[in-house]
A and B are shown apart, each in its own frame.
Chain A
Amino acid sequence: MTQGRRIGISLMALLIATALWLPLVHLFFSKPATSFFQATAVSPKARELAARHLQLWTDPPLRARELQRMRASNAEWDFMGRSFLVWSLANMALRDPATKSGNLETMDRIIEETIRLEQQEGITFFLMSYAKTNSYLVQPARSLFIDGEIALMLAARRMVEEKPEYKELLAQRVNVIADGLQRSPHMLLESYPNECWMFDHCIALCAIRLADHLDRTDHSRLISDWIAMAKQKLVHPESGLLTACFTAKGQPLDGPEGSTLWMVAHCLQILDEDFARDQYQRTRKELGETLLGFGYAHEWPSSWRGPADVDSGPIIPVLNISAGSSGLAFIGASSFGDEAYLKTLSTTLDFSAFPKRKAGALKYCASNQVGDAALLYAATLGPLWEKVKVKGLQ
């Protein structure tokens, strides 16, 4: 046999082997969706992720190393890692009362340190450096990103068990946010100088919603007015998806961004359930993908082309896979019971995020503390929202 023929046979064998092997790879990483998320219990993976985070909060040198690595890229991630963890621990405590005492202790430690740092170092401690280069339009400067997430942390803690000291703290934050929205001619509040985020507004409104439940206040009109405004002015016309970022006057600075939308749809579940489902279905259709059993998400719909930002994570070309959007897609899929998509996302996570297990704790090496905290939130969400869900605010 000639060498040419032999090489030809080998090349053909390689092609056939590729066609046989690639569709099977996912089977080695695929597990039922219930291994990640369970509606009525805490999943095994959630316990492992939580164990790792609790380790970080009881081992100061370990935590300091993780925070230093994250803050070198983005100080926001330090802050959001705290928020996602507190919300997760609240959900876990509601699902599994045996964890309540320990979780409350950790939640309080996180909340108190976060507020102390905010007061000591100023709001820019948890913001990216460009927050300092320009002036906020509204003075004194406040960031809705900071106010909203702290408010939701306080509210989530109180939903598990009342803490009188937090009642006044939550009321102050809620009043600042509500007053700000009402005074703003466009019902928009800055997170950065003249930069407003859909993500932050939705979280802030969720905090107000929980506060209304806790303290029997009523901001339903404010919430419904805001949703009506957003539907009218903050939607990308081609895709019908909410815009991620805009000026204080509502002019878009960005398009509909996956690393925003999945969480926004989840938040809308307690603000306007019908609109929430609409946004999830659109986001799923425009951004969610499955290929050979692996699920992932794009950052932008095909009708929008914009630059990636630090929240997008790296974008893998050709397939346009966004690490940030794919990670947050877990929150969307868990929220809306999309088990099929959740399973494929979970397959991708175990395949390409390099899980590392040690003494019952799990972290993903390709992720970081905030990424793992967001995954933990996706694996535990539900109980907080179930307590306050309403359908289609008028």
Chain B
Amino acid sequence: MKTNLTNRFWNLCAADFLSPKDLVRHAVLIVLAFGVAHAFGLREYTSFLNGTTGSMELGYELSALLGLIYLLLYFATVLLVPILILAALLATLWLKYYQRNAP
């Protein structure tokens, strides 16, 4: 079981550019990065959007940077990850169909 998971993990890492596996790999990485940002409480720093600093100690610029990182990862997770997974599924089906019907 562990060997199988490890093999699958390395297969994912070795995926070709824009292959279905590559799309899934990017989706996983985005979700992991977002999870880390969320766990570290970067959500609080999104107040820069209304001109309020997230932390007086860190200052406006650094707070805004942290808020921006969270913002980008959040939108990537909500918008891009489903697109990547859906695209991976479509591309997989498309490629299988192409290979089945190739002369």
Partner of A323, one of B23, B44, B49: B49
Partner of B90, one of A1, A17, A354: A17
Q: Which residues of B contact A68 (CB under 8 A)?
A: 56
Minimum C-beta distance from B48 to chain A (A) = 8
The CA-CA distance from A25 to B76 in the complex, in Å, is 13
Contact between A13 and B94, CB atoms less than 8 A apart? yes
Please, which residue of chain A has its CB at the minimum distance from the CB of B45?
A365
The total of chain A residues at the interface (CB under 8 A) is 37
Q: A10-B18, A10-B19, A69-B53 are in contact. Are A1 and B87 (CB under 8 A)?
A: no
Contact between B95 and A1, CB atoms less than 8 A apart? yes
Contact between B83 and A18, CB atoms less than 8 A apart? yes
Q: Is A21 an interface residue (CB 8 A)?
A: yes
Size range of the interface on B? Answer: 35 or more
Please, which residue of chain A has its CB at the minimum distance from the CB of B74?
A354
Contact between A13 and B87, CB atoms less than 8 A apart? yes
Contact between B83 and A323, CB atoms less than 8 A apart? no
Q: Which residues of A contact B98 (CB under 8 A)?
A: 1, 9
Contact between B90 and A366, CB atoms less than 8 A apart? no
Q: Is A72 an interface residue (CB 8 A)?
A: yes
Contact between A9 and B52, CB atoms less than 8 A apart? no
Please, which residue of chain A has its CB at the minimum distance from the CB of B90?
A13
Q: Is B99 an interface residue (CB 8 A)?
A: yes
The CA-CA distance from A72 to B55 in the complex, in Å, is 11
Q: Is B61 an interface residue (CB 8 A)?
A: no
Contact between B87 and A366, CB atoms less than 8 A apart? no
Please, which residue of chain B has its CB at the minimum distance from the CB of A24?
B82
The CA-CA distance from A120 to B63 in the complex, in Å, is 33
What 1/0 mask marks residues of chain B from 60 to 103 whose CB sits below 8 Å from any chain A CB?
10000000000000100011001110111011001100110010
Contact between A6 and B44, CB atoms less than 8 A apart? no
Minimum C-beta distance from A321 to chain B (A) = 11
Most chain B C-beta atoms within 10 Å of own C-beta, residue among A11, A14, A65, A68: A14
Q: Is A337 an interface residue (CB 8 A)?
A: no
Contact between A21 and B82, CB atoms less than 8 A apart? yes
Q: A10-B18, A10-B20, A72-B53 are in contact. Are A365 and B43 (CB under 8 A)?
A: yes
Contacts A17-B83, A22-B79, A356-B43 given; 20 further ones with Cβ under 8 A?
A3-B16, A7-B17, A9-B95, A14-B83, A14-B84, A14-B87, A17-B82, A21-B79, A25-B78, A25-B79, A65-B56, A69-B47, A69-B55, A70-B52, A310-B51, A313-B50, A365-B43, A365-B44, A365-B47, A366-B49
Q: Which residues of A come within 8 Å of B, CB atoms?
A: 1, 3, 6-7, 9-14, 16-18, 20-22, 25, 65, 68-70, 72-74, 310, 313-314, 323-324, 351, 354, 356, 365-368, 371
